[in-house]
Structure 1
Amino acid sequence: MGATPTSPGPTPLDVAGRIRPKVARPALGPGDPSWRVGPRTDPTGLRPLDRDKLYAARLQAVRARPYLATALFALHLVESREVPTMAVDRYWRCYAAPEFVHRTPVEDLASVWVHEVSHLLRDHHTRSDRLARDLGLRGPADRVRMNIAADCEINDDAFGDGLVVPAGAVLPKRLHLPEGGLMEDYVRGFGIDLTRAGLSWLDCGSGADGVQRPWELGPDGADGLSPQERDAVRFRVAEGIRARPGNAPAGWRRWAEEVFHPPQPWRQLLGAALRSAVSGPGAGGDYSYGRPARRSVGLPGVVLPSLRRRPPRVSVVIDTSGSVSDQELGSALLEVTAIGRAIGGRHDQVTVLSCDAALQSVGALCRAEGIPLVGGGGTDLRTGFAAALRTRPRPDVVVVLTDGQTPWPEVAPACRTVVGLFRRPARYNEDDGEYRPTAPPDWARVVPVG
């Protein structure tokens, strides 16, 4: 798990990563005036880093946030007299200023430990680089703004329940911003005055905004974690939070759910699934005698048809049962319009079927607002599948927009199938141990919608 609070810690390094020679110091005793006032200054007149105090604060942070223990003990402590307070780099080194540690209570240091490791767990350095690239943010003011936005994301639910609010902590309410947001939500909500006194105390290092500082050891310095080791730490912390979610704030629960399964733009995924289906082998292809095949010249008196590409035919089955909301039906109409554009605007190639427990209506796509969505009863989309496959000419692709609470055909259709699945919480019957929620079959390409 890492060093104990009384361990001497690793060999101290200077800002260039070189090992500093040890200075012999006389042993302290109860008669020494500095015995109870903390570490003495060394012969150079500089106060050394009180590692015992920092390790005690880390243990207090672990007691308050046990799910962060793996990450807290993975941080490598580096003494630095150039860092304003405490900061982290993207390689999981934690830099601490001796004077800051000396004057800060242990309770506050425990909160600072949690704050700094949160920057690394939430990958703020990578997100800051991406945000700067997407929004064209450049210069020191923009990087300070991203650092403060990252602090707001962390601090709105980081303290309490055993952790005090450190002096000067940046909270969303102090900037008149809503709570519960992400760094990307906060970054545009306030301005920065670089001439403001004390602004350097907001510097959390490259682990917060992605810009390497002069006092950091960099990628070639000692004791940094590799990308695989960083991912392993994040994975163990996320699994600990998901195992006992009741002990973690909402922000950490959200992070644990998304860190290795980030949300995807479902419209793009659904469009990609449709394009893959309509461009697959056999979709939109048919033989025609309008232009004989070139092989006919080798067979005198025989005319062979040629394979011609035509716009693919798509049948869209919309679940109109009572469990589907009006908002979801509106989303379904938007997707029908997008499907028409995806096949080149050939609305005559798109057939729309509304179905609950029985087939309700069938019609070609002309305008999305003219599609009748009739239903409201139970759900059995097998009738919709059967009706779609009976249409002539037969469809190349069947797209189903449903909440998934329906029986499915036992046999895969003779065409490609894409299922847009409206999100629903899993429903389990506690009285029936064998019950499992309905799931689309393996032969369908499933895309969560919404």
Structure 2
Amino acid sequence: MTAVTAVTAATTKAAGALDLDKLFAARLHAVRVRPYLATALFALHVVESRRVPTMAVDRHWRCYVSPGFVERTSEEELAAVWVHEVSHLLRDHHGRGDRVARERGLHGPGERLRINIAADFEINDDVFGDGLVRPEGAVQPAAVGLPEGQLMEDYLRRFGLGPHTQHMAWLDCGSGADGLERDWDLGEDGAHGLSEQERDAVRFRVAQGITGRPGNAPSGWKRWAQEAFHPPQPWRELLGAAVRSATSGSGAGDDYTYSRPSRRSAGVPGAVLPSLRRRPPRVCVVIDTSGSVSDGELGSALLEVAAISRAVGGRRDLVTVVPCDASARIAHPLCQAEGIVLIGGGGTDLRTGFATALRSGARPDVIVVLTDGQTPWPSTRPPCRTVVGLFPRERRSAGSWDEDEGHYVPDGPPDWARVVEIG
């Protein structure tokens, strides 16, 4: 190194400029210990910023880096932070954060901080070790008494902000971690961002690297890689949309009433004509409780019942539940959902569930069926809309089914039902 070069380097360091040599050396270390993440790590574009506490990412794959943080952090810890930040982007925490914020009404910076913490929990439980040191201050689920191995959405349901999270208030992994754009983000039109197609290509290459050498990746990354090749259907959104569509369509909830006579009565002297008025729609949920439906699926069904009540405006008094295997139980009002017992375990005949739903009090405007589909269906269309939430099952040959009597191959849901595959 010449004297002039040495003086220039010393001046730059004194001015607090970003030490790119150290930062990129740390990235090379991360690539050596996590080779399947190489494509993603090299896809990040570095942006020097004194407004981030450590390192942060935006949804366009820019990595904002604090010069002071790089200066005071060892190369080994910086490698771990590289892996942590790129994990937010690969796991689409920004998109998932936006979705969960909309679904659960999580507004404001406090709730976005909670999303950031939950996303960190999902990453940090298995990202370190095997050549990657744990950085100082890396948050763990155990800090709030939660188990490892869960997803961001699961963690969000189980902790809130308080004294036990006060030491995490400094966290800011950027909009790439929680979906909330910062004022220091370069934004969609800024330089060096990746397009949506380029981001998808990076994820695909990383997933290829993980599945090609599965023994080198933690279980969380293996699960992610499988979903990258076979993305799960957003069935909760589809089911909610199907229920809302069924309850808002013409005829659902419409009824004639004399409480406000029709204006056409003036044209018929001596007669009072009823007017057509819209009332809140009634929904009956038929839950398949046969032996072929697992306890986990029944638990999921109860969660969906609550979601269905939100899809119709939160009127729990207008939603009833009918547990059904080979015979149907009584229709329970949802306002007493905590007391509903899903009794069953036998064969399946949802025709009795339809019959009970149509006989229970006021006729429903929409019937929602949650089932694995191993059932006979009504031969005629019921006098209301029908939405079927179908638990996934492998298709088998005709000789492999046996439901109490002979070999039984179930028909698919009828054409008059709107079908959404669950899971």
Classify the TM-score, shorter chain: 0.5 to 0.7
Deviations 1:404-431 (A, max 9, x none): 332445765553112245x56x446699
The alignment status of 1:280 with 2:249, answered yes or no, reads yes
TM-score, length basis structure 2: 0.60
Long gaps (5+) in structure 1: 1-27, 34-38
Counterparts of 2:177 and 2:34, CA distance in 1: 20
TM-score, length basis structure 1: 0.57
Which of 7, 12, 17 is 1:46 aligned to?
12
* 1:273–1:445 CA contact under 8 A, matched in 2: yes
The equivalent residue for 1:236 is 204
Q: What is the 5 A alignment of 1:104-143?
A: 107-122=76-91, 127=97, 134=106, 137=109
The alignment status of 1:418 with 2:390, answered yes or no, reads no
Counterparts of 2:334 and 2:144, CA distance in 1: 48
Deviations 1:178-204 (A, max 9, x none): 33454744754322399xxxx8xx775
Q: CA RMSD in A?
A: 6.2
Which of 183, 191, 204 is 1:223 aligned to?
191
Deviations 1:56-107 (A, max 9, x none): 6435534544543342222113467897765545543335577876887765
The equivalent residue for 2:418 is 445
Larger Rg: 1
Q: 1:187 to 1:371 in 2, by over 3 A?
A: closer
Deviations 1:220-247 (A, max 9, x none): 9963315636753675368548967956
Which of 138, 152, 166 is 1:170 aligned to?
138
The alignment status of 1:191 with 2:166, answered yes or no, reads yes
Q: What is the 5 A alignment of 1:50-449?
A: 54-55=23-24, 57-78=26-47, 86-89=55-58, 91-95=60-64, 107-122=76-91, 127=97, 134=106, 137=109, 151-161=120-130, 163-168=131-136, 170-172=138-140, 175=143, 177-178=145-146, 179-180=148-149, 182=152, 184=156, 185=159, 188=162, 189-192=164-167, 212=182, 218-219=186-187, 223-225=191-193, 228=196, 232=200, 236=204, 240=208, 246=214, 248-252=217-221, 257=227, 273-274=242-243, 276-284=245-253, 294=264, 308-309=276-277, 317-324=286-293, 328=298, 335=305, 355-357=324-326, 359-360=327-328, 376-382=345-351, 384-385=353-354, 396-408=365-377, 412-413=381-382, 415-421=384-390, 423=391, 426-427=393-394, 440-441=413-414, 443-446=416-419
What is the identity, as a one-letter code, of the residue corresponding to 1:73? F
CA-CA distance at 1:363 after TM superposition: 7.0
The equivalent residue for 2:406 is none
CA-CA distance at 1:114 after TM superposition: 0.9
**The structure with more helix, counted as a fraction of residues:** 2
* 1:360–1:375 CA contact under 8 A, matched in 2: no
Counterparts of 2:48 and 2:334, CA distance in 1: 70
What is the identity, as a one-letter code, of the residue corresponding to 2:192? G
* 1:75–1:92 CA contact under 8 A, matched in 2: yes
Counterparts of 2:292 and 2:122, CA distance in 1: 36
* 2:84–2:123 CA contact under 8 A, matched in 1: yes
Q: 1:238 to 1:98 in 2, by over 3 A?
A: closer
Question: Which range moves more in the overlay, 412-421 or 360-369?
Answer: 360-369
Among all aligned residue pairs of Structure 1 and Structure 2, give the percentage whose two residues are the same amino acid: 48
The secondary structure found in structure 1 opposite 2:8 is coil
* 2:369–2:388 CA contact under 8 A, matched in 1: yes
Number of residues of Structure 1 aligned to a counterpart in Structure 2: 391
CA-CA distance at 1:164 after TM superposition: 1.7
* 1:122–1:255 CA contact under 8 A, matched in 2: yes
Deviations 1:202-221 (A, max 9, x none): 775665575758xx673499
The secondary structure found in structure 2 opposite 1:110 is helix
